[in-house]
Amino acid sequence: MENLLVAENIYKQFGNFTALNNVSIAIPRGSIFGLLGPNGAGKTTLLRIINQITMPDKGQVYLDGKPLQPNDIAHIGYLPEERGLYKSMKVGEQALYLARLKGLSKAEAKERLEYWFKKLQIEGWWDKKIQELSKGMAQKIQFIITVLHRPKLLIFDEPFSGFDPVNAGLIKNEILQLKEEGATILFSTHRMESVEELCDYMALIHLSNKLLDGKVSEIKREYKSNTYEVGLETENDTALLAELKEKFVVGNTNFKSINDDLKLTIQLKEGETPNQLLNYLLAKAKINHFVEVIPSVNDIFIKTVTQHA
């Protein structure tokens, strides 16, 4: 079975508002899957449906090829966007409680908690109350609770929102390590750089519809526009610019450089190759910089979303 989780034709309506309109995603085993979308796109609703918190009106979710069962919650770890803990309960006690709700035995839960407390260097917190801890500290506990029962599928809703940079880095490393240990990870975010960094696959949801999904590298390839960024050193910038503008679609750009270059983006027509462009430029100027413009996830996101606005 290649995909760990498949959501098929999910449809969900709240009153007159359609939250999800025929959305399907497939998450390959062992991958990190990024669910993107502006606020209110329906990401959280989809995650809640996968967690069986909300039931879809239509559609079916499969885990390991089988329709999702109530006791599959033991195989899923969920860190919601709106997350918190009991303020007046002791850290250890509520971690035990939440772990046992996931099906762990008391002894098992205790042993694993001790391991994680040690790993994140928070051994002394067991008897503290949450109200004595800072927000960042509480987030560590929430993370531990999410992964404690060693789920096959980990779901993080906006995992980095609210984390300070140190904790965010820590969590990022833990996520990568969990992936190495074989977990499949689904997370939703509107922070594009984390998708760029972490995700193998992504899907974009906008206004309740899925606009885009697939391997991140493939999507990028699809979205690239045969554009190159060049830095040229010439005697006469204006003459060259005029000449280039006749032949290509030329735009201005900026990049870091120690030379006093003419910085341009040059979009080639279909069928033209970068070698042809290089050949052409070789005769005209000294080429200090030549790089293919690969669209960032951010660019893709903005482009797709504005197209469908």
Residue numbers of the site for another protein (CB under 8 A)?
A: 14-15, 48, 51-54, 70, 73, 76, 78-80, 82-89, 97-98, 100-102, 142, 145
Sign of CA dihedral 205, 209, 212, 213: positive
Pairing of strands 66-67, 76-79: unpaired
CB of 18 to another protein, least distance (A): 13
Dist. CA 85–CA 14, nearest whole Å: 28
Dist. CA 96–CA 84, nearest whole Å: 15
Closest CA to 204 of 192, 193, 194: 192
CB of 76 to another protein, least distance (A): 7
Q: 167-173: long-range contacts (C-beta < 8 A, 24 or more apart)?
A: 167/136, 167/139, 167/140, 170/120, 170/140, 171/139, 171/143, 172/197, 172/198
Dist. CA 18–CA 200, nearest whole Å: 29
CB of 275 to another protein, least distance (A): 54
Dist. CA 193–CA 298, nearest whole Å: 8
Closer to another protein by CB, 1 or 101: give it: 101
CB of 41 to another protein, least distance (A): 17
CB of 172 to another protein, least distance (A): 21
Closer to another protein by CB, 12 or 263: give it: 12
Closest CA to 136 of 147, 127, 125: 125
CB of 77 to another protein, least distance (A): 8
Return the CA Rg of the chain.
24
Terminal CA-to-CA distance of the chain, rounded, Å?
Answer: 37
